[in-house]
Chains A and B, each alone.
Chain A
Amino acid sequence: DVKVTQSSRYLVKRTGEKVFLECVQDMDHENMFWYRQDPGLGLRLIYFSYDVKMKEKGDIPEGYSVSREKKERFSLILESASTNQTSMYLCASRASTPAGRELFFGEGSRLTVL
């Protein structure tokens, strides 16, 4: 069965802390994504990666960075967390072929920044 695992379901951090959100997929997918979900705003793409060490900015990359050193793992990094980064973070992955393949999501990481 397909699985995308996010390491932490709930995190509480303080303003200015460095935060790592980890995501692992076991489907050998080329593409991995980080979305942010906020009430009334839907899902907004932060970053995505289409191969190891490759990354592209999404729609709201400011304040975030990512790392993909291995195919199965995609990390989201908040260098200096701020209260406006309190949100639900969703990781997803997808195979490149065939065209039209859907995203598979993890269960989400709810981050609170105090």
Chain B
Amino acid sequence: AQSVTQLDSQVPVFEEAPVELRCNYSSSVSVYLFWYVQYPNQGLQLLLKYLSGSTLVKGINGFEAEFNKSQTSFHLRKPSVHISDTAEYFCAVRSQGGSEKLVFGKGTKLTVNP
């Protein structure tokens, strides 16, 4: 079975600062990895995903994430955040060739202050 740990429940930053949201997973098989964003009172939308190949994945809104197999991590980064990036971010994992289930972390609430 897979599990996902998002190491920070809340991350406050100032506008234009860099940010990293951390995600670690555990799995005995190869996985697909995802980051989703949820703006207030909305559903989740996909930021980016890692399926295979290059370990650096670029997504929407200037976000990127790096897959590190040895450390079982998939941290999300943005070099310069905007007020509009204030949202909750979820890391998720699904095993390759296995269950249809997508397992989510508990979320990290990013607050960008002026």
Chain A residues at the B interface, C-beta cutoff of 8 Å: 4, 31, 33, 35, 40-45, 48, 50, 58, 90, 92, 94, 99-100, 102-103, 105-108
Given A100-B51, A102-B49 in contact, is the A107-B107 Cβ separation under 8 Å? Answer: no
CA A31 – CA B106 in complex, angstroms? 23
Using known A-B contacts A43-B90, A90-B43, A108-B43, determine if residue A58 contacts B101 with beta carbons closer than 8 Å.
yes
Q: Which of A40, A50, A99, A105 contacts B43 (CB 8 A)?
A: A105
Contacts of B96 in A (CB 8 A): 99-100
**A45 near B101: Cβ-Cβ < 8 Å:** yes
Of listed B6, B32, B44, residue having the most chain A CB within 10 A: B44
Interfacial residues, chain B to chain A (CB-CB below 8 A) = 6, 9, 32, 34, 36, 41-46, 49, 51, 90, 94, 96-97, 100-107
The 8 nearest A-B residue pairs measured at CB: A105-B43, A42-B106, A100-B51, A43-B104, A105-B44, A107-B43, A100-B32, A102-B46
Residues from chain B with a CB closer than 8 A to the CB of A94 are 100
Contact among B44, B90, B104, B106 with A40 in the assembled complex (CB-CB below 8 Å): B106
Q: Pick the most buried of B34, B36, B102, B103: most chain A CB atoms within 10 A of its CB.
A: B102
Q: Which residues of A contact B97 (CB under 8 A)?
A: 99
Nearest B-chain residue to A103, judged by Cβ: B102
Contact status B104-A42, CB under 8 Å: yes
Q: Apart from A43-B104, A105-B45, what are 13 other A-B pairs with CB-CB below 8 Å? A: A42-B6, A42-B90, A42-B106, A48-B101, A90-B44, A99-B51, A100-B32, A100-B49, A100-B96, A103-B44, A105-B36, A105-B44, A108-B42
Cα separation A52 to B95 with both chains bound (whole Å) = 23
* A106 with B43, Cβ < 8 A, contacts A40-B106, A42-B104, A43-B90 known: yes
A42 to B44, CA, bound (A): 12
Minimal beta-carbon separation of A87 from chain B (angstroms): 14
Name the residue among B36, B94, B100, B106 with the largest chain A CB count within 10 angstroms: B100
